[in-house]
Structure 1
Amino acid sequence: MEKEIPHIVFDSQKPDNSGIEILTIKSLSLRKKDIVHNPEKAHQLAFNMIVFYTAGESKQLVDFVWHDVKKNTIIHLSKGQINAFQFNDHLEGFIILFTEDYLKQQINTLPKNELIRLFNSHLFSPIIQVPEAANVSNYIQLFYEEYSSLQEDYNQENTYSALYSIIFSKLERLKQYQTFHLKRSDKLNSFLEFKSLLEVHFNTSRNADFYAEKLNISYKHLNNICKEMVTVTAKQFIDAFVILEAKRLLINSEIKSTELAYSLGFEESTNFVKYFKKHTGFTPNSFKKDYI
Structure 2
Amino acid sequence: MTQEKDYIVRATAAGGQIRAFAATTRELVEEARSRHGTSPVATAALGRLLTAGAMMGSMMKNDTDVLTLQINGDGPLGGITVTADSRGDVKGYVQNPDVILPPKNGKLDVGGAVGIGLLTVIKDMGLKEPYSGQTILVTSEIAEDLTYYFANSEQVPSSVGLGVLMEKDNTVKCAGGFIVQLMPFAEEKVISRLEENVGKITSVTRLLEEGYTPQRLLEDLTEGLDLEITDTMPARFYCNCSKERVERAVASIGAKDIREMIDEGKDIEVKCHFCNTAYSYSVDELKNILKRSKK
Q: TM-score range by the shorter chain?
A: under 0.3
Structure whose residues are more often helix by fraction = 1
Greater relative contact order (Cα 8 A, min sep 6): structure 1 or 2?
Answer: 2
Structure whose residues are more often strand by fraction = 2
TM-score with structure 2 length normalisation? 0.27
